[in-house]
Homo-oligomer: A and B are copies of this chain.
Amino acid sequence: MSRSVAAIIGGGVIGGGWAARFLLAGWDVVVFDPDPEAERKISEVLNNAQAAVPQLIDKPLPKAGNLQFAASLEEAVSEASWIQESVPERLEMKQAVYKQIQQACRQDAMIGSSTSGFKPSELNADATRPGQIVVTHPYNPVYLLPLVELVAPPETTETQLDMAKHILSSIGMKPVHIKGEIDAHVGDRLLEAVWREALWLINDGIATTQEIDDIMTHSFGLRWAQMGLFETYRVAGGEAGMRHFISQFGPALAWPWTKLMDVPELDDALIDKIASQSDAQSGAYSIRELERIRDRNLIGFLQVLKRHNWGAGAFLNAREASLPDAPEAPIADINQPLRLYTAEVLPAWIDYNGHMTEFRYLQAFSEATDAFLGAVGMDAAYLEKGCTFFTVETHLRHLGEAKLAEILPVETQILMATEKKLHLMHQMYNAAGDVIATSEHMILHVNNKEGKSCPAGPEIWSKLEPLATAHQNLPVPDFIGRFTGQKA
C-alpha cells in the first residue's frame, strides 16, 4: 500500500514542525521552499522532533515516512492529499500561492493554512475551489503541542471538514473547530491581547522582558498548562464557583486595568528596548539551546499530564490507545521456544545512567506473557466472559544491560501447563544474541468476578495443551526452580 503524501509549502520553524508531524505519523512528505537553507532548517526541527515524540507515546510509532525536497511548488503538491501552507503573513502572497497550488494539486486534497490571523474567506477570495482551503493554525513547537485551530469558510463541505479533522487527528493533533471566522481566530487573539499589554509595560518602563517573563512563568503560566482561564477562575471563586468569581472581578472591567484601548507605536526605540532586554535575559543561550530546553520541559509536563490523564496528557493517552499494539508474531514451530514479542527500549524506559530501568524488564516480560496468551486465544471476547490469567509469582534475573532504542527479542518456553496453572519462562536477547535477562512465572487462570482459579476454556486449552506437550521435549535451563541468590 502506498503511503499518504503531505506537501509542506514554506519550510520555516512552523513548516518544519508540520513536516515532522506528518513524517512521524508515517506520511511521506514533500517540501517546497525556495530558501536554500530550508533543507538544513527542516532537518534540525526534525531532529528535535525525533528525539521528543517517542518520549510521549509508549507504543511503537509507525515507520517514519520519506522526506523529499521538490524543485517547484507544482512538483511538491501534485500527489499530496494534504497541503500545508506556512508562508509569511502577507495576504496577497498567500492568495498567489493558493492559485499556484490549486492549478497543480488534486481536487480532493485539503489545503491547510498556518496563518495566525487571516480569515478563511480572505485566504480563498481568489481561489478556484474556495472550499478546499481551511485555516489549520498550529502552535510552535508543532511536533509537541497538539493544538490546531481549524476554521473553514462557508464553501467547505461537511465531508471536507470531516476529512480535515480525521487527518489532523491521525497525525496526533487536537483540532478545535472554531465556528466563527474572525481575525486571529481564538488563541492568537488572546496572545495578541497579552502582547499589546506587554509592549505598553516595556514602553512605559514598568517592567523588563525578564520581569514580565518571570511573573508569567512563576504564576499563571503554570496554571494555564493544565487548566485554562475559565476553569482556573472557577476554582479561584472557591466553593461559590464561577458566578462568585465574576461578581467579584466583573467590576474591574470598568477600571483602567489595561492600556488596550490604545496600541503602542512599535518604533525603533521600542524595538531596540525589547531586543536589548531580551538579549540580557536570554542571550546566554543560543536559539537551538533554548529549543532543547523548551522541549525537555514540555515533554516533562506532558508526561506528568499523561500520568494524571488530564488536559493534553489525556489527549496523548487517547492517541496512544488508538495506535496498534506491537504486532504479534505467529507461532512458526510449536517444537521450538516461541518468539512472539520484541521489546524496543523506549526513551521513557531509560534511567539517569542511560540504561533500561529495572522495572521495564518486567514490563517487557509481561507484554511477552500477554503476547503468548494472545497466541493461545486469550482475546477481548474471552476476557469479557470474566476469566483471565493472573501472575502470582515471578523470578527475574538481570545478566546484562540495555540502552536506548535497542531491539530485544524475547523467547518464551512453557515449562508446565494444566487447565488452571501455567509455568512460563522468558529469555530476553540483545542484538548480539546474548541473554540479558530471564524470567520465570507462575500464572493462574482465574475467574475475575469470584477471584479464584478455575480451568481455562476449551478455546484456550485446545491451543495451549499441544504447545505445552511439544515444549516438554525442550531442555530446561538450570536457572529454573532456583531461589533468589542460589548458586548456579
The residue of chain B having its C-beta at the shortest distance from the C-beta of A482 within the complex is B483
- Contact mask for chain A residues 274-288; partner B; CB cutoff 8 A; 1 contact, 0 none: 110111011000010
Contact of A347 among B218, B307, B360 (CB under 8 A): B307
The residue of chain B having its C-beta at the shortest distance from the C-beta of A363 within the complex is B359
Q: With A220-B224, A227-B294 in contact, is A394–B394 under 8 Å at CB?
A: yes
CB pair A117 B257 closer than 8 Å: yes
Task: Tell me the complex Cα distance, A119–B398, Å.
Answer: 59
The residue of chain B having its C-beta at the shortest distance from the C-beta of A145 within the complex is B219
Say yes or no for A192: interface residue by CB 8 A criterion.
yes
- From residue 252 to 277 of chain A, which have CB atoms closer than 8 A to chain B? 252-264, 266, 271, 274-275, 277
- From residue 128 to 174 of chain A, which have CB atoms closer than 8 A to chain B? 139-140, 145-147, 149, 174
Say yes or no for A358: interface residue by CB 8 A criterion.
yes
Determine the chain B residues whose CB is within 8 A of the CB of A149 once the complex forms.
Answer: 215
Interface residue count on the A side (C-beta < 8 Å): 155
Most chain B C-beta atoms within 10 Å of own C-beta, residue among A217, A250, A253, A298: A217
Determine the chain B residues whose CB is within 8 A of the CB of A397 once the complex forms.
Answer: 392-394
Q: How many chain copies?
A: 2
Having A186-B207, A250-B266, one finds 13 other A-B pairs with CB under 8 Å, namely A145-B218, A180-B207, A188-B257, A189-B257, A194-B194, A213-B230, A217-B225, A221-B228, A222-B302, A230-B278, A254-B263, A297-B305, A393-B484
Determine the chain B residues whose CB is within 8 A of the CB of A210 once the complex forms.
Answer: 230
CB pair B219 A308 closer than 8 Å: no
Contact of A198 among B204, B229, B275 (CB under 8 A): B229
Contact of A281 among B182, B189, B231 (CB under 8 A): B231
Would you give the shortest CB distance from A461 to chain B, in whole angstroms? Answer: 20
| 29 intermolecular pairs with C-beta atoms under 8 Å apart | A140-B235, A180-B207, A183-B257, A184-B252, A184-B258, A186-B215, A189-B259, A190-B212, A192-B197, A192-B252, A192-B257, A194-B229, A217-B224, A217-B225, A217-B226, A217-B311, A220-B224, A222-B225, A222-B301, A232-B294, A242-B278, A246-B275, A300-B307, A300-B308, A307-B346, A362-B362, A392-B399, A393-B395, A423-B484
Q: With A222-B298, A442-B484 in contact, is A213–B231 under 8 Å at CB?
A: yes
Say yes or no for A448: interface residue by CB 8 A criterion.
yes
Task: Tell me the complex Cα distance, A484–B182, Å.
Answer: 67
CB pair A186 B211 closer than 8 Å: yes
Say yes or no for A97: interface residue by CB 8 A criterion.
no
Would you give the shortest CB distance from A70 to chain B, in whole angstroms? Answer: 22
Say yes or no for A216: interface residue by CB 8 A criterion.
yes
Would you give the shortest CB distance from A411 to chain B, in whole angstroms? Answer: 18
